[in-house]
Amino acid sequence: MRGITGLPVQSTADGLNRSGKQETDKAAGFKDMLKNAISEVNHLQKDGEQKTLELAMGKSTDLHDVVIATEKANMALQLTLEIRNKMVEAYQEIMRMQV
């Protein structure tokens, strides 16, 4: 039996293919990677906000740290939005394909 990729797929006694486990692991790995990346962007956003608040309340006088933290958060958010846009474009392109 051949799978979608044209490569042979081995079947187990219960009729499930062994590559299903690997595909599930890869999907879970991608999901975890995406979740961690979004969490990191969120952390950068909160850090920038916290440093801005500290500067506004007079607790911090280092303007450079505030600007750097804010710019890191901004760049991370912009990159995340660009990745999302590319993923949406790729999905739309796949949906336009004729079978």
Per-residue pLDDT of the chain (99 residues; tens, 9 = 90+): 444 444 454 444 444 555 556 667 777 888 899 899 999 999 999 999 999 999 999 988 789 999 999 999 999 999 999 999 999 999 999 999 988
Phi/psi region, residue 11 (left: phi>0; alpha: psi -120 to 50; beta: rest), is: beta
Token pair for 58:
């007079």
pLDDT at residue 98, rounded to an integer? 86
CA–CA distance, 45 with 26 (Å, rounded to integer):
29
**pLDDT for res 28:** 81
Task: Return d(Cα 50, Cα 73) in angstroms, integer.
Answer: 12
HSE (CB half, 13 Å, CA atoms) of 48?
A: 17
Q: Would you list the domain boundaries of the chain?
A: 19-96
Place of tokens 């607790």: 59
Q: How far apart are CA 31 and CA 47, in angstroms?
A: 24
